[in-house]
Amino acid sequence: MKTLIFDTATESAIKTCAEIIKRGGLVGMPTETVYGLAANALNGKAVADIFKAKGRPQDNPLIVHISRIDELYPLVSEVPETALRLAKAFWPGPLTIILPKSDIIPDEVTAGLNTVAVRMPSHPVARRLIELCGVPLAAPSANSSGLPSPTTAEHVIRDMDGKIDAILNGGACDVGVESTVISLAGKKPRVLRPGGISPEELSSVIGEVEIDPAVLSQLRAEEVAASPGMKYKHYSPKAKVYIVQGDFENYKRYVEAAESENKFALCFDGEEKELTLPSLTYGHAKSPKEQAHRLFNALRELDDLGAGTVYARSPELSGMGLAVYNRLLRAAAFDIIEV
Ligand code: AMP
Ligand code: MG
C-alpha cells in the first residue's frame, strides 16, 4: 500500500484524511499525547485493520476520540456526574474515561468488554479531523505493537509506512506519553494507566481515586488486567533496559562497573558529564513533564545508537513522574536494579 504523507496539516490535507477515514481507511494523526492511528470507531472492519497494521494483540481495546462533550452520550449507556465533572475539568486534554458502553460501539473497539474508553484530545488537528469525519475515531498509539509510542510524524513513518493510508504531520507531541486512563465503570474511580493528568489533579476534582495495582507492578499469570494494555511488555527499544533505583552516586558506581555489551546510560540532564560511558539524557531530574516529553524519543534514539544494554535513572513516583515510571517499567520488562 502507498502511504500518503502530508508534511503539513493544512485544512485541505485534513479534509483528504477525513475522506480516507469515511471510506474505511486508516490515518496516522497528531494528538497532544502521542500520534494516534485513527479509523471510524463505528466501522468494525476499519477498526480490525488497525489491529493488523500495528500487530496489536486482539484483546487490547482502543480509545474512542471525540471533538465535543455531547458526542460522549451516544457512545455510553450512562454518564455519571463524576464523568461530567472530569470532562469539564480536563477535556479537551490527556484524560480517557471508561464507562459502560452503548450498543453502537462495535466489539472490535472494546475487545469484547462491556465498557468503552473515551477521550477528547486538545490537539487542533485531531479535533478538526474528528469534526470533518463526523464520527468518533478509534485510535491507539500509531507505533508497531511493542515499540515505543510515536511522538513525531517521523516515528509513525518508520513504523507504518506502507501499512496505512495516510500520515498527517502535526509536529512533535506536547505531552509525550499517552493519556491517563480512569475507569468510572466500577465501584470507585480507578486509574488504570497514569498519563498526562496526574492522580493528584484527578483527586482535586472528584476526591479519592484508586490506583490499579498493575500501574506499578507486574500482574501474576492468573490475574485479570483491568486495562489489558498494562499486562504487556511495551514501549521497548531493541536494547535490554534496566531501571536503576538509588541516588546518582550509587548509580554512577554501578553502571560504570557493569560488564555488558554496548552499555548506555539513560540519565537526567547534566549527569552525562559525570559519566564515563556513552549516555543519553531524557530531561531534568526535577521535571517529570520534560521527562515525559522526551522519553519515547530517547528510547528510539538508543536503538539508532546501537545500544545493547540501557541503564535508566528512575523518575520520582509523584505527579507526571508516575506516568514516566510506568512506561519505563514496561520498557524494562519490569527489571529493576536497586543500588
Ligand atoms: P493505546 O491506545 O495504545 O494508548 O492503549 C489504550 C489503553 O487503554 C490500553 O492500555 C487499553 O488496555 C486501555 N483501554 C481501552 N479501552 C479500555 C476499556 N474498555 N477498559 C479498560 N481499558 C481500556
Ligand atoms: Mg499504545
Separation between Cα atoms, residue 107 and residue 93, nearest integer Å: 26
pLDDT digits (tens, 9 = 90+) for 283-314: 999 999 999 999 999 999 999 999 999 999 99
| Local confidence band at 236 (pLDDT 50, 70, 90 cut-offs) | confident
Contact 85, 205 (CB under 8 A): yes
Looking at residue 298, what DSSP letter applies? H
Domain spans in the chain, listed from the N-terminal domain onward: 4-215, 240-338
Mean pLDDT value across residues 174-182: 97
CA of 322 to the centre of ligand 1 (A): 17
Q: How far is CA 242 from the centre of its chain?
A: 20
Q: For the structural domain made of 240-338, what CATH number should be given? A: 3.40.50.11030
Q: Are 151 and 30 in contact (CB under 8 A)?
A: no
pLDDT number for residue 219 = 79
Alpha helices for 276-336 (secondary structure H): 288-304, 321-331
- Sort residue 229 into left (φ over 0), alpha (ψ -120 to 50) or beta: alpha
Mean pLDDT, rounded, for 242-270: 97
The predicted-structure confidence for 110-151, as pLDDT tens digits, reads as follows 999 999 999 999 999 999 999 999 999 999 999 999 999 999
pTM score, whole prediction: 0.96
Cα-to-centroid distance, 321 and ligand 1 (Å):
20
Q: Is the pLDDT of residue 49 over 90?
A: yes
DSSP summary character for residue 45: H
Would you state the pLDDT for residue 290?
Answer: 98
Beta strands in 158-292 (DSSP E): 166-168, 180-183, 190-193, 210-211, 240-245, 263-267, 279-281
Altogether, the residues listed in the chain come to a count of 339
Task: Give the Å distance between the CA of 124 and the centre of ligand 1.
Answer: 23
The pLDDT score that the predictor gives to residue 235 is 77
Work out the mean pLDDT of the chain and round it to a whole number: 96
The pick from 63, 105, 155, 180 for probing ligand 1's pocket by mutation, whose C-beta has the most ligand atoms within 8 angstroms, reads 63
232, pLDDT greater than 70: no
User: Closest residue (by CA) to atom 21 of ligand 1?
Assistant: 227
Instruction: Say whether pLDDT at 233 is over 70.
Output: no
Query: What percent of the chain clears pLDDT 70, i.e. is strictly above it?
Result: 99
Q: State residue 109's pLDDT score.
A: 98
- Domain 4-215 fold is DHBP synthase (3.90.870)
